[in-house]
Chain A
Amino acid sequence: MEHVEADILILGSGGAGLFAAHHAADQNSNLKIIVSAKGLIGKSGCTRMVQGGYNVVLHPDDSVEKHFKDTIKGGGGINNQEMAWTLVNDAPRRIRELETKMGVFFDRNEDGTVHQKPFAGQSFDRTVHKGDLTGIEIISRMRDQLYAKPSVEDWDEVRAIDLLIDEESRRVAGCLMLNMRTGEFIVVHCKAVIVGTGGAATMYKIATPSLEKAGDGLAMCYRAGTEFLDMEMMQFHPTGLLAENSRLNGGVLEEGLRGAGGYLINSLGERFMKNYDPERMERSTRDRVSRAAYMEIMEGRGTELGGVYVDVSHLGKENVRKMFPGMVERCRDVGKDLSVEPVEISPAAHFQMGGVKVSNDCESDIAGLFVAGEDAGGVHGANRLGGNGVCDSTVFGARAGDAAAAYVASLKSQVKVSDTQVHEIIEDIVEPYRRTDGENPFYIRNDLKNLMWEKVGLVRNGKDLNQAVAELERLKDRVNRVAVKGSQKYNLTWQELLNVRNLVTVAKMVTSSALIRTESRGSHYREDFPESNDERWLSNIYAAKGENGEPEYRVDKTKQTHINVKEIQGYQVVATSK
Chain B
Amino acid sequence: MNDVEVTVMRFDPDEDETPRFDTFPIGAKKNMTVLDSLFLIVEDQDPTLSFRCACRLGMCGSCGMVINGRGRLACRTKIESLGDKIEVQPMRNMDVIKDLSVNMDKFFKNWEKVKPYFVPKEETDEFSVIPPASGRREIIDENQDCITCGLCYLSCDAVALRGEDGYIGPAALNRAYNLIADERDGAKDERLDMVTDRDGAFGCRSFGACVEVCPKGIKPMKTIQKIKTKKLRRSVGLKY
**Residues of A at under 8 Å CB distance from B?**
39-40, 43-45, 48-49, 93, 96, 99-103, 105-106, 108, 110-114, 133, 135-137, 140-141, 144-148, 181, 210-212, 243-248, 251, 330, 333-334, 440, 442-443, 484-487, 489-493
A100 and B120 contact, Cβ closer than 8 Å, known pairs A44-B54, A490-B50, A492-B49: yes
> Closest B-chain residue to A115, C-beta based?
B132
Residues of A within 8 A of B14 (CB): 489
B31 CB to closest chain A CB (Å) equals 4
25 contacting pairs across A/B (C-beta < 8 A)? A39-B52, A40-B54, A44-B60, A49-B55, A99-B128, A101-B120, A102-B117, A105-B140, A133-B59, A135-B59, A140-B147, A141-B118, A144-B116, A144-B118, A144-B175, A147-B116, A245-B29, A245-B31, A245-B32, A246-B31, A248-B57, A333-B76, A485-B47, A487-B15, A491-B48
Residues of B within 8 A of A144 (CB): 116-118, 175
Question: Interface segment, B17-25, B177-185, B192-200, B230-238?
Answer: B177-185
Complex CA gap A486/B99 in Å reads: 13
> Closest B-chain residue to A104, C-beta based?
B118
The 9 closest A-B CB pairs, nearest first, are A103-B118, A486-B48, A112-B131, A112-B129, A245-B29, A490-B50, A493-B47, A246-B31, A442-B43
A39 and B60 contact, Cβ closer than 8 Å, known pairs A48-B55, A110-B132, A440-B47: yes
Which residue of A45, A140, A244, A246 has the most chain B CB atoms within 10 A of its CB atom? Answer: A246
Q: Any chain A CB within 8 A of the CB of B239?
A: no
Contacting pair B117 A148 (CB below 8 A): yes
Residues of A within 8 A of B62 (CB): 39-40, 43-44
Q: Any chain A CB within 8 A of the CB of B89?
A: no
Complex CA gap A146/B126 in Å reads: 22
What is the interface of chain B mostly: helix, strand, loop, or mixed? Answer: loop
Complex CA gap A503/B112 in Å reads: 36
Question: Interface segment, B34-42, B159-167, B204-212, B221-229?
Answer: B34-42
Q: Any chain A CB within 8 A of the CB of B71?
A: no
Residues of A within 8 A of B146 (CB): 140
Contacting pair A49 B30 (CB below 8 A): no
A196 CB to closest chain B CB (Å) equals 16
Tell me the count of chain B residues lying within 8 A, CB to CB, of chain A: 68
Contacting pair A492 B51 (CB below 8 A): yes
> Closest A-chain residue to B1, C-beta based?
A245
Complex CA gap A99/B32 in Å reads: 38
Residues of A within 8 A of B33 (CB): 246-248
What is the interface of chain A mostly: helix, strand, loop, or mixed? Answer: loop
Complex CA gap A351/B193 in Å reads: 45
Residues of B within 8 A of A487 (CB): 12, 15, 48
A133 and B129 contact, Cβ closer than 8 Å, known pairs A244-B30, A245-B29, A246-B32: no
Complex CA gap A146/B128 in Å reads: 23
B139 CB to closest chain A CB (Å) equals 13
Complex CA gap A93/B125 in Å reads: 8
A211 and B54 contact, Cβ closer than 8 Å, known pairs A442-B43, A489-B14: yes
Contacting pair B131 A245 (CB below 8 A): no
Complex CA gap A112/B136 in Å reads: 11
> Closest B-chain residue to A485, C-beta based?
B47
Residues of B within 8 A of A491 (CB): 48, 50
Partner of B118, one of A145, A210, A244, A334: A145
Q: Any chain A CB within 8 A of the CB of B155?
A: no
A103 and B36 contact, Cβ closer than 8 Å, known pairs A210-B60, A211-B56, A493-B47: no
Q: Any chain A CB within 8 A of the CB of B75?
A: yes
Residues of A within 8 A of B144 (CB): 105, 137
Q: Any chain A CB within 8 A of the CB of B9?
A: no
Residues of A within 8 A of B124 (CB): 100
> Closest B-chain residue to A181, C-beta based?
B97
Complex CA gap A100/B118 in Å reads: 9
Contacting pair A100 B30 (CB below 8 A): no
